[in-house]
Structure 1
Amino acid sequence: MARALVAGIYDAESHWRDEKLALLPAVRDKERERIVMAMDELMFPFCGSGDGLLTRFAMEDAHKAYLTSLGFSFEHLVWKEPEAAPNLFEAMASDPQRDEQYGAFDILSPFSVVPYTHEVIAKYEYETELPAIDKVKRVNSKIYSTQLTCKLLGKSFGQPVYSAEKLLILGHSLLAEHGPFLIKDPFGVSGKGNMLLKSQPSLERVASYIRKQEGEGKGTAFVIEPFMEVECDFSCQFNIMRNGSFHLLGLQKMLNKQFAYLGSESMEEEECRELERAGYFDVMIQAANALFKDGYFGPVCIDSMVLKDGTLVPIVEINARKSMGFINQRLDETLQTNGKKGFFTYGSVGFGERFDYEWWLDELKKHDILYPNRKGNGIFPLSSATLFAGVPGPGKSSSASGNLFKGRLYMTIIADHLQERERYLEQMRFSFESKGGKWYS
């Protein structure tokens, strides 16, 4: 059986984005960027026995042992350079040496296709066929999804704008007719690259910011759409096979707050049947056919929503890559063997100094929080590197100013009902804060 090297980049959008295009106002968060780089460890559910997982940062030995105890067996490889590479595939392709630990695998299984992915495949002679990078970039743009929605459904809430002047004209019209509206970067991601504009002064400030960049030679490309009251966010995960056939994987209900992703869980069967009766899957198949016709094949996650007035919006955004929904789908496939399913989420945390991860797992187990507890439920920690990504090194403590190191703990919560889920989260928060940490969300 072919052995896969699983590797990838979670902020693929930043590598697809044309640097010659204007940006929306934003504050750079270097700690967040480092945490996102560490998220490659979350790909372990895509590994089978004999596969390898390549990450930028080392995983805690206790965490790997815990995953093994739950049946997740894989070879773990860590990028050899001391500095994490923003584009791991570029670093691999540019390395003058051919690393035989990577060459021992038969195929490359990337989270997404980014620049230099094909070069790595060629260098290590992997038996992997992927769509061309220009096709991948095109279908992942929000401009593409806006235009495809209009083509398939005859209308779209969003519309592209290609200049600061056009943004002003259309923005004024939206404010007058609908009130607040969103402006989206074509390659913006959860919590970044989206702005909600509620007034003409805010619109004029953003237009002025973009106009200044145009004066410096930048191009303009954004999508604007009226702000809509959402009842339910969800996503559809499927694969477009190499022959163009459609392979549905599942649906995930999503929890979002202020445009930022907070968590997801597999959709109930009755909810899926309601969508089928509404013709939702017909639209997904049409979208898949269009993507294939435009040169893309592979994993796709389409974000969708139901508005408070009951309107179904089948296509909000197209993510032609794997996603958090794909990860939760794979986790639930494992949990289903015990008749369980989980809620995939994360906690943002802060702490003054690095702590013993193994000791903390033991603490969670002792207090019956760690999955599987006596009920077969509990919290399943999915990451350790994202927790410690912001810590400079062993023995280092927080700065003299008292600022805490930032971290993020991804987890799946297995519970029989919402109250039990919330109780586990509260116990987790208490456990973390009782040791001097800070649980932000």
Structure 2
Amino acid sequence: MRIDAPSLYLGSFNSEQFWRDADISQLPAIADQQADAIVSVMDEFQFVFCNSPHDLLVTRLPMDGFYKDYLWELGFSFAHNEFPLIEKMSESGKRSPKGICELLLEARCDPYYQNLLARLSTLSPYSVEPLTEKLCQHYNLQGSGSDIEIVKKVNSKLFSHQLGKHLFPDTVGEIIYSASDLDAVGNRLLQSSPFLIKDEFGVSGKGNLLISSLQILQRIVTYISKQERDGKHTIFLLEPLLNKQTDFSCQLEIDTTGETKILSIQKMLNSGFAFSSIQTAESSFREFLDKSGYFEQVEAIAAELHRVGYFGPVCLDSMVLEDGKIVPMVEINARKSMGLINHHIDAFLTQFSTQGRLMFFSLGLSRHVEFSELLQRMEQSKILFLKDRPKGIIPLASNTFNVNWELHKASANQARAYKGRLYASVVSDNDEEQEQILNRMDNIFAELDIQRFN
């Protein structure tokens, strides 16, 4: 295989749902079809991983043409599918919950996709899905990654907890296997502090529930008990709520021989338990981690991952507590990550001697706004990042902005705004300049009658 062999980039940013067993009880959650639709088209972010005009990024929906031209003009290099893998909306008004590998396999008889994938040699997925290996076999691609059962195992919070107990004796938390266990252990934990119930494959605000009172605990126990009566099995991780100072993550790559390369440290800001923004950690923070022995702990974790059969990208979530203690392993994400995306954006920005901050704008749109119009307004306001003006905002996806428009058109309640998100890297040299950029962005939203919620 040549080093410069063209690669296929694709992925599902909600891959945890494909790893979770259907017969396991779940925590209560509010169904949000529009939020799910936004997540489904976050696959556009992966243009940052492509290295040449021969690399192919396949996404569920085609990118906005104006936006794709903008990325090419900046210097990003990739090819991209021009036709959707799925219809924007089914007759029932719902979008496909299928993984991208399954969708591409379903399209294998389509001459367009046959020709598009014929020239490729390798696959670089966001994460390993149940049909990733089958996709590689069908299109004769190398790089399917670890076996799906190993991937499911190492991504489980139960695995990371048990590994933490093995490597770091002061790891806190308990695994419970029934509603009655939840009742007993939860009552005991509440005597000291609030605690978290963590789903085995919860992610980004879903599957983590804060329990701060006996009343809330009893409601959850009742909710889980009902599922058990319906034949579900229960398994959750309970953790006392720690006094956290800083969330951060370590991006690393484990090759097939077990050699580990630490790529970056990313500091995170979260809203509740969900991602809010992320930026590359400053050198002083890395020095603090180094002096504390953190990187030796990362190497030990990576060695255990390889020992059980995993290789590939890893995002290790960690934290610093208010007393200065480092918790090296909050959980393991054995896949690519938002932190890795930000790392690649900053690698691109090194030519301009600057860095960005990856964030998103949570929006409410009452009418259809073309993404090209948004970009044009940003350019007119001089906040769109350009090669000859290397400060401002680099949008990271086009379809997250208005993927829900068709659902809104079919809705009986069109007076209500529909949800959109603008993911972006905000590039500036200082906090005051960044604030000015964000204020101008807010003015553009107001001009377009778009509400911003965060």
Task: Please say whether Structure 1 and Structure 2 have the same fold, judged by a TM-score greater than 0.5.
Answer: yes
Report whether the alignment pairs 1:419 with 2:432.
Answer: yes
Aligned to 2:103: 91
2-structure distance, mates of 1:28, 1:424: 34
Aligned to 1:255: 269
Q: Deviation string for 1:122-161 (max 9, x for gaps)? A: 1101122411000000000001111111100113122211
Q: Deviation string for 1:256-291 (max 9, x for gaps)? A: 111110011001112101101100001100000000
Report whether the alignment pairs 1:14 with 2:17.
Answer: yes
* Cα drift, residue 368 of structure 1: 1.4
Q: Deviation string for 1:356-396 (max 9, x for gaps)? A: 32232122112111113876211111111110111108x95
Tell me, what secondary structure is at the counterpart of 1:386?
Answer: helix
Tell me, what secondary structure is at the counterpart of 1:55?
Answer: coil
Q: For residue 287 of structure 1, what is the amino acid of its counterpart?
A: I
Contact 1:236 1:302 in 2 (8 A): yes
Q: For residue 101 of structure 2, what is the amino acid of its counterpart?
A: F
Contact 2:74 2:387 in 1 (8 A): no
The structure-2 alpha-carbon separation of the partners of 1:80 and 1:10, relative to structure 1 and needing over 3 Å to count, comes to: closer
Contact 1:354 1:396 in 2 (8 A): no
Ranges in structure 1 where 5+ consecutive residues have no aligned partner: none
Aligned to 2:141: 126
The structure-2 alpha-carbon separation of the partners of 1:129 and 1:390, relative to structure 1 and needing over 3 Å to count, comes to: closer
Aligned to 1:64: 68
Contact 1:352 1:398 in 2 (8 A): no
Contact 2:61 2:85 in 1 (8 A): no
More displaced stretch, 348-357 vs 112-121 = 348-357
2-structure distance, mates of 1:170, 1:355: 51
1-structure distance, mates of 2:432, 2:188: 45
Aligned to 2:290: 276
Aligned to 2:92: none
Report whether the alignment pairs 1:114 with 2:129.
Answer: yes
2-structure distance, mates of 1:291, 1:79: 36
Contact 2:371 2:401 in 1 (8 A): no
* Cα drift, residue 225 of structure 1: 0.5
2-structure distance, mates of 1:386, 1:105: 27
Q: For residue 366 of structure 2, what is the amino acid of its counterpart?
A: G
* Cα drift, residue 405 of structure 1: 1.6
Tell me, what secondary structure is at the counterpart of 1:187?
Answer: strand
The root-mean-square deviation of aligned C-alpha atoms, in Å, is: 1.7
Aligned to 1:143: 158
Contact 1:353 1:398 in 2 (8 A): no
Report whether the alignment pairs 1:437 with 2:450.
Answer: yes
Report whether the alignment pairs 1:232 with 2:238.
Answer: no
Report whether the alignment pairs 1:246 with 2:260.
Answer: yes
The structure-2 alpha-carbon separation of the partners of 1:397 and 1:424, relative to structure 1 and needing over 3 Å to count, comes to: farther
Contact 2:7 2:123 in 1 (8 A): yes
* Cα drift, residue 296 of structure 1: 0.4
Aligned to 1:81: 86
More displaced stretch, 138-147 vs 422-431 = 422-431
TM-score, normalization by structure 2: 0.94
2-structure distance, mates of 1:82, 1:407: 18
Contact 2:85 2:103 in 1 (8 A): no
TM-score, normalization by structure 1: 0.96
Percent sequence identity is 38
Report whether the alignment pairs 1:409 with 2:422.
Answer: yes
The structure-2 alpha-carbon separation of the partners of 1:105 and 1:229, relative to structure 1 and needing over 3 Å to count, comes to: same
Tell me, what secondary structure is at the counterpart of 1:353?
Answer: coil
2-structure distance, mates of 1:181, 1:6: 39
Q: How many corresponding residue pairs? A: 439
Kindly report structure 1 stretches of 4+ aligned residues shifted beyond 6 Å. none
Contact 1:353 1:396 in 2 (8 A): no
